[in-house]
Amino acid sequence: MKKEPTKQEYEEYVEQVTPKHNCFVNCSKAFLVGGMICVLGECIKQIALHNGLKEEDALTCVTLSLILLSVLLTGFNLFGKIADFAGAGTLVPITGFANSVASPAIEYQKEGQVFGIGVKIFTIAGPVILYGVFTSWAIGLIYWLLKIMGII
């Protein structure tokens, strides 16, 4: 019968298997890749403006292009590799949100349109949408009440 490890033995084991991270390197990678995504977005915007789109339409073009690129990279199994390298640099912008919707859709497509993709597509993004909508509703309610009371 195997004996239980002591608290000290367990802590030593955890220390051994826990990956070591260099915060400066991780932040630098996130900054570099996140910055490259922003530069790409700005390039798309400038191209759209140069081709005669209004600024609002150019910004819509940027959003749609970055979402499309993110979904394509997810489909070709490249987004995960970039995210492993860059961490939050890819996950914070809209590209990360698009990836969080596309990944479950790709993973569960073999289970069918309804019970695979339909059920699982918002597995990751669903809580973000839920709490985003709830928070904006709560803040809107507070704003409305403050406006009625004449504070704002």
Tens of pLDDT, residues 89-130 = 887 668 887 888 888 887 777 787 787 777 777 777 788 788
Mean pLDDT of the 47-63 span:
96
31 three-state secondary structure: helix
SS (H, E, C) 89-120: HHHCCHHHHHHHHHHHHHHCHHHCHHHHHHHH
Q: Which two tokens stand for residue 118?
A: 């339909």
Q: What is the pLDDT of residues 59-84, one digit of tens each?
A: 999 999 999 999 899 889 999 899 99
Question: If phi over 0 gives left and psi between -120 and 50 gives alpha, with beta otherwise, what is residue 87?
Answer: left
Confidence of residue 4 (pLDDT cuts 50, 70, 90): confident
Distance CA 70, CA 67 (A): 5
7-16, 46-55, 76-85, 142-151: the lowest-pLDDT one: 7-16
| pTM: predicted TM-score of the whole model, two decimal places | 0.67
pLDDT of residue 19: 81
Higher pLDDT, 124 or 51: 51
What's the sign of the alpha-carbon dihedral 86, 90, 96, 98? negative
118, HSE (Cβ side, Cα atoms, 13 Å): 4
Q: How many CA atoms lie within 13 A of 27 on its CB side?
A: 3
